[in-house]
Amino acid sequence: MEPVFTCISYSWGPGREPSPLRINFDISDRTLPALATAIKHRPSCKRVWIDALSVPEEPQERARCLGSMGYIYSLAEEVLVVLSSGAQTALEQMSKSHRIDHDSLHNLEKEDWISRAWTYQEAVNSKELYITCEGPHGALVAGDHFMNCVGYTLSRLEGSNFDKEQQFPRLSAFQDLIGDYAIAGYEERSALQVMSNMDKRTSSRPGDHFYAMIGAISTTVADFSGTIDPCEAFMVLCESKGDYSFIYSAAKRDPAFMRRWRPVAGDLPSILPWPGWGAGQPGHKEGSALYLDFMMTFQRSPIEEDGERFVRERIKPTNTQLQLPLHHLAYTFLQTMGFRGSSEYVSTAKGYFFPLEPMKSDDVVVLVATKVRWAFGAPGLAFIDELNERVYIPGAFVGCIDEKDSTSVRMI
């Protein structure tokens, strides 16, 4: 029988104090207050898991534990989030209503927990999620109600989604988590979806960023002990699950033959930090060769009427923009969502592909995903052959996606 326990989720903050359990080991000065808050709300709970007191100190065991966070949080009976005392008014309002006032929304925007890298996997893997705050009078609010209150209050504010994201960047990122927590089981969460969400989150150590990503796509015990780079461990795990959507990253590519499609381990930012959908990018190996499945392929060509109509419907140009070139409007549209790639587009029959960097040849083939996508298009890769070597460049496609036109493509 599995043990019944509660996981405590909180933000460490900058303060430190000696651990009561380990000699010469400092922990967050918020650890013990968070533990006390959990005990106040759950006095009958006999077992709790809290990182500063539960993660092993020995490096390899620590890495194995951090790589198993998805397993730990999914196994817990509940996850109890402890915010700072500054969230008290917001939580009190949530306990009595379905919305909060403007001041409380700004106070929640200041909460470090909202934007922590670990927040994502801790919340989406929980069976039951509850949120409270430090102090003797913090209300206890169910996670789905908390998220609905934040989402509803943001939706009622004036301005575009872009304006709201600029004003409330942390809470806007938190809305992505709302969608995953509400509708997506971990089997349905693609690597690209996790990468896009994590682009808006912070961590104190680079490795923790990838351990949190691993926890978001796996609820099994990690089978490594810090023997490989955490980023590499994330990509290897994705490959074992048959999801190659991590290739839609703005990272540099591996120069090795038959691996030029693959990002180099290190940083792994998404090509576009925007929520999408899809279970992942299917692919299969034949010998040492990778085949990406369900890919649309395009050559350079003028955009066709149905493609142009689709792009206009999605980007919704204003009256003052109608005279501007459609590819210019599409690029500006992507920029508002965080795209940092080149404006030197590739025109295709069904839309426009914008690569991360300019293409050095007119003889280019564009590959566009059909199994992971956005409302306005999908991620993709373009490739050209330079001096008998293939070069892959990731990018964003704005245009029609039709799975019936897809095929498998051999990557070299």
Alpha helices in 250-321 (DSSP H): 305-315
Give 333-387 pLDDT, tens digit per residue.
999 889 999 999 999 999 999 999 998 788 999 999 999 999 999 999 999 988 7
Q: Mean pLDDT: which of 9-13, 119-123, 168-172 is highest?
A: 9-13
Q: How far apart are CA 189 and CA 210, in angstroms?
A: 15
Measure CA 232 to chain center: 17
pLDDT of residue 225: 56
Reply yes or no on whether the pLDDT at 187 is more than 60. no
Q: How far apart are CA 410 and CA 412, in angstroms?
A: 7
Residue 220 tokens, joined: 């099994």
Token match 């949530």: residue? Answer: 94
- Mean pLDDT (whole number) for 52-58: 92
The residues, any chain, with a CB within 8 Å of residue 405's CB and separated by 6 or more, are: 296
| Coil/strand/helix, residue 390 | strand
Q: How far apart are CA 346 and CA 396, in angstroms?
A: 11
- Mean pLDDT (whole number) for 151-180: 80
Q: How far apart are CA 268 and CA 198, in angstroms?
A: 10
- Domain boundary assignment for the chain: 6-241, 284-411
Measure CA 360 to chain center: 31
% residues pLDDT > 90 (the chain): 65
Reply yes or no on whether the pLDDT at 124 is more than 90. no
Using an 8 Å Cβ cutoff, are 6 and 49 in contact? yes
Best CA proximity match to 360, nearest among 340, 382, 381? 382
Give 204-255 pLDDT, tens digit per residue.
777 888 999 999 888 888 876 556 789 999 999 999 999 999 999 999 999 9
What is the secondary structure of 368-379 as a DSSP string? EESSSBBTTEEE
What is the secondary structure of 146-166 as a DSSP string? HHHHHHHHHHTSSS-HHHHHH
CB neighbours of residue 182 within 10 Å: 13
End-to-end CA distance of the chain: 48
Q: How far apart are CA 374 and CA 229, in angstroms?
A: 30
Phi, psi (degrees; rounded to nearest 5) at 290: -95, 135
pLDDT-based confidence at residue 319 (cuts at 50, 70, 90): confident
pLDDT of residue 220: 87
Reply yes or no on whether the pLDDT at 80 is more than 70. yes
Best CA proximity match to 246, nearest among 226, 266, 268, 228? 268
Using an 8 Å Cβ cutoff, are 52 and 19 in contact? yes
Best CA proximity match to 117, nearest among 184, 197, 228, 27? 197
Q: How far apart are CA 151 and CA 149, in angstroms?
A: 5
Give 254-310 pLDDT, tens digit per residue.
999 889 999 999 889 999 998 888 989 999 999 989 999 999 999 999 999 999 999
Q: How far is CA 306 from CA 57, 174, 349, 351, in A?
A: 59, 35, 9, 9
What predicted TM-score, i.e. pTM, was given to this entire model? 0.87
Measure CA 128 to chain center: 21
Using an 8 Å Cβ cutoff, are 292 and 310 in contact? no
The residues, any chain, with a CB within 8 Å of residue 161's CB and separated by 6 or more, are: 172
Measure CA 320 to chain center: 35
Instruction: Taking each helix axis as running N to C, give the angle between helix 143-155 and helix 169-183, from 0 to 180 degrees, rounded to the nearest 10.
Output: 130
